[in-house]
Amino acid sequence: MTRTTLAGLVSALALTTALAGCGQPAEVKSDMPPLPASATAPITYARDVHSYAQPEIARVRNVALDLTADFERKILSGTATLTVMAEPGATQVVLDTRNLDIRSVKDEAGQPLQFVLGAADPILGQSLTVTFPPFTAGESRKIVIDYATRPDASALQWLTPSQTAGGEKPYLFSQGQAILTRTWVPTQDSPGIRQTYEARIVAPADLTVVMSAQHLTPEGESAGEGQKAWRFRMTNPIPPYLIAIGIGDLEFAAFDERSGVWTEPSRLKAAHDELVSTADMVDAAEKLYGPYRWGRYDLLVLPPSFPFGGMENPRLTFATPTIIAGDQSLVSLVAHELAHSWSGNLVTNATWSDMWLNEGFTVYFENRIMEALYGRERALMLQSLGWSDLQANLRDLPAADTRLHIDLTGRDPDDGLSDIPYEKGAAFLRTIEATVGRERFDAWLKGYFERNAFTPMTDVGFLKDIRQHLIQGDAALEARLQLDNWIYQPGLPSNAVAPVSNAFVPVDAAARAFTLGGPASAVPWSGWSTQERQRFLGWRPASVPAGGRWLTDAQLADLESTLKLRQEGNAEVVFAWLQIAVAHRYQAAVPTLEHFLTTQGRRKFVLPLFESLWAQGDWGQPIARRIYATARPGYHPVTTGSVDDVVGRPN
């Protein structure tokens, strides 16, 4: 690892007033606060096994996109102008690409530069090595890459009008995490190589373009017959997986002066009413851990095929419509994505082996926001549900994959995407809080975000910070915390304590009584919150009988009818019910299952249900194949990439 001085570079890029190949309105100023000193501090680059980049030699500092969206051909084409800094004497910069058609690479003066695409790797894609004259000390240069994406770009999903709520206009959205940005932007696609970006996007004039950046042209600009151009600028350096775009029939409704929601017109009122607490969440988050550094905080509620619950793209969280439950019961997802504005976007895991530094911190922070707004008991219910998910992962995953710092060499970074980085990471932080006290812990965590703002973080860096600023040489405290055991050992250390929600005691009693033969009419379903309903449906006997079934068909029918589970609209509740139904081969629930799997593509729901079906052998596998053949065309590549490994790709 090489230490490289970046003083002054980010600030200079933040003040840039020209987009490559297209003028930027000079009167539009950044609405984000000035960058702290940490943003220009020297960086120690961690070795990232998921990137070809060699940032210790040459690194990308700014990306300026000038792209046209072609919905007929399903491609983005145009140029990416990269601002590169390099060590004195360096003659090459190595970029990440995957399935991009590179047409030319030139310098700022328009002169061709030599470039070579490396051998293709199914996970990493191809390196793009660009050669130029030797760099001098302190020099930066621009290289202009003319390219086009391909229709099957894994980061992009092109939706037909029939796949949208309005049914009349097409839609495009991106999903770059973890290493999919390279399928639509040729850059150094590593979370440890932060970059600012600018963009000019040309799209059909009847569509609206949004990005994870400051919107410089809210109404768009004429770009020829039937076309408009939209301009954006992100002056804070971000990891490239957070470069994001959405194009569609979109309208906006504000929550307050700095937050609001974008979505399709027919969904706007429901989305606004459901997510109106977002403004209060921003206020609560700032009171906990310091100022929000990204200007606006808006949401884009996407079509149902969006593969994740949410994606924390700066200034514009992308969210699944499955959180629109009608009763604000699933808004903890918004708290989660907002919390990423500190843990993930501000302080970022340098490599995906330390995903817990993004996700564990965020689950902890999310829960604190929920506690501040909705009370301690709701926060404890959410903790308890997460703890149950964690126990399942600890039981089912290989021991090596239950460590917080995970070895992903030769593996897709999505292999580390389990409840371990999320829930074990959060449990780790709760353990520290319980040991040192909330006031002391909060002071350290707020300082952690301030000291490390806009920098990549590793497990080693985390340990250095907490030992210096919290433990401060206290050997007894160090021993009680068991820091190394939490990060480097499988399972849970001996100081882990399960969260307990008193609200779940009667829920568990009701589940036990029903399992033993009581009627579903005795279950106080109508008076329960979504979290209590999830707990009830997630309850299992300590010892499940042979065959994996703990309910009779008569009990399942009673449950489905009495609780009106066929009509249930809350996605979390439907998912929990369908897991029971599949485990029992309950044929009457198959229509509900088919509808659920063909009307949304959130991988959190889709993948486990197909896995459960597949585990049911001669009963479940034919159902899985049939449903997947219908559903797959509507799923994002992130989802199909996982389900293909279970069911196989339909012929």
Residue 222: helix, strand or coil by DSSP?
Answer: strand
Per-residue pLDDT at 11: 34
Question: Which of the residues 197, 422, 448, 628 is marked catalytic?
Answer: 422
Whether residue 545 is predicted with pLDDT greater than 90 in this model: the reply is no
Average pLDDT, the chain: 94
Q: What is the DSSP string of 307-334?
A: SSSEE--TTEEEE-GGG--SSSTTTHHH
Stretch 487-504: mean pLDDT, rounded?
97
Among 379, 394, 309, 387, smallest CA distance to 572 is for: 309
Give me 367's structure tokens. Answer: 């829960």
1.20.1250.20, 3.40.50.720, 3.30.1330.10, 1.10.390.10: CATH of 340-488 = 1.10.390.10
Q: How far is CA 228 from the centre of its chain?
A: 29
Query: What mean pLDDT is predicted for residues 221-228?
Result: 94
Residue 600 pLDDT grade (very low, low, confident, very high; cuts 50, 70, 90): very high
Type and span of the H or E element at 607: helix 603-615
User: Within the chain, what is the greatest distance between any pair of CA atoms?
Assistant: 79
Determine what percent of the chain is predicted with pLDDT higher than 70.
96
Which among 337, 423, 560, 572 is annotated as catalytic? 337
CA dihedral 244, 286, 370, 269 (to 10 degrees): -50
pLDDT tens-digit profile of 203-217? 999 999 999 999 999
Place of tokens 């499940």: 544
pLDDT of residue 173: 97
Distance, in Å, from the CA atom of 173 to the CA atom of 156, rounded to the nearest integer, reads 6
Residues 6+ apart with CB under 8 A from 405: 353, 354, 356, 459, 487, 488
- Residue among 360, 494, 358 nearest 435 (CA): 494
pLDDT above 60: residue 127: yes
Token couple for 309:
């619950």
Using DSSP bridges, classify how beta strands 3-4 and 208-211 pair: parallel, antiparallel or unpaired: unpaired
Give the model confidence (pLDDT) of 304-322 as tens digits. Answer: 999 999 999 999 999 999 9
Is pLDDT above 60 for 16? no
User: Residue 617: what are its φ and ψ, rounded to 5°?
Assistant: 55, -125
Contact 650, 628 (CB under 8 A): yes
98-119 mean pLDDT: 98
Averaged pLDDT, 87-93: 97
Q: What is the pLDDT of residue 651?
A: 79
pLDDT, tens only, 257-312: 999 999 999 999 999 999 999 999 999 999 999 999 999 999 999 999 999 999 99
* Radius of gyration from C-alpha coordinates of the chain: 25
Nearest to 636 by CA among 249, 67, 121, 176: 176
CATH number listed for the domain at residues 505-647: 1.25.40.320
pLDDT for the residue numbered 249: 98
Examine the pLDDT at 3 and tell me if it is beyond 70: no
Helices and strands per DSSP (H, E), number in the chain: 20, 26
Catalytic, 241? Answer no
- Distance separating alpha carbons of residues 238 and 313, to the nearest angstrom: 10
Q: Which residues contact 593 (CB under 8 A, 6 or more apart)?
A: 578, 581, 582, 609, 623, 627
CA atoms within 13 A on the CB side of 370: 24
Is the pLDDT at 534 greater than 90? The verdict is: yes
| The pLDDT of residue 135 | 96
pLDDT for 546: 67
pLDDT tens digits for 355-406? 999 999 999 999 999 999 999 999 999 999 999 999 999 999 999 999 999 9
Identify the pLDDT of residue 23.
44
What pLDDT score was predicted for residue 19? 37
Taking the C-alpha atoms of residue 120 and residue 116, their distance in angstroms, rounded to an integer, is 12
Tokens encoding 555: 């009990």
Pull the structure tokens for residue 447.
Answer: 């300082």
Confidence label for 543 from pLDDT (cuts 50, 70 and 90)? confident
How many CB atoms lie under 10 A from the CB of residue 651?
Answer: 5
Q: What is the pLDDT of residue 482?
A: 98
Model pLDDT for residues 26-64, shown as the tens digit of each residue? 467 889 999 998 888 888 899 999 999 999 999 999 999
Domain ranges of the chain: 3-249, 340-488, 505-647
Ramachandran sector of residue 573 (left: φ over 0; alpha: ψ -120 to 50; beta: rest): alpha
Confidence of residue 5 (pLDDT cuts 50, 70, 90): very low
Tokens matching residue 651: 């012929």
The CATH T-level fold of domain 3-249 is Immunoglobulin-like (2.60.40)
Residue 27: the pLDDT is 60
What is the distance between the alpha carbons of residues 101 and 152, in angstroms, rounded to a whole number? Answer: 12
289 a catalytic residue:
no
The yes-or-no verdict on residue 22 having pLDDT over 50 is no
Residue keyed to tokens 């995407």: 417
Question: What pLDDT is stored for residue 40 in this prediction?
Answer: 86
The torsion defined by the Cα of 565, 566, 571 and 575, in degrees rounded to 10, comes to 70
Output the pLDDT for position 357: 98
User: What is the dihedral sign for C-alpha 581, 587, 591, 597?
Assistant: positive
Cα within 13 Å of Cα(136), Cβ side: 1
DSSP per position, 64-123: EEEEEEETTTTEEEEEEEEEEEE-TT--EEEEEESS-EEEEEEETTS-B-EEEE---BTT
Residue 174: pLDDT above 50?
A: yes
Residue 128, pLDDT > 70, answer: yes
CB within 8 A of 67, min separation 6: which ones? 76, 77, 78, 79, 199, 200, 201, 202
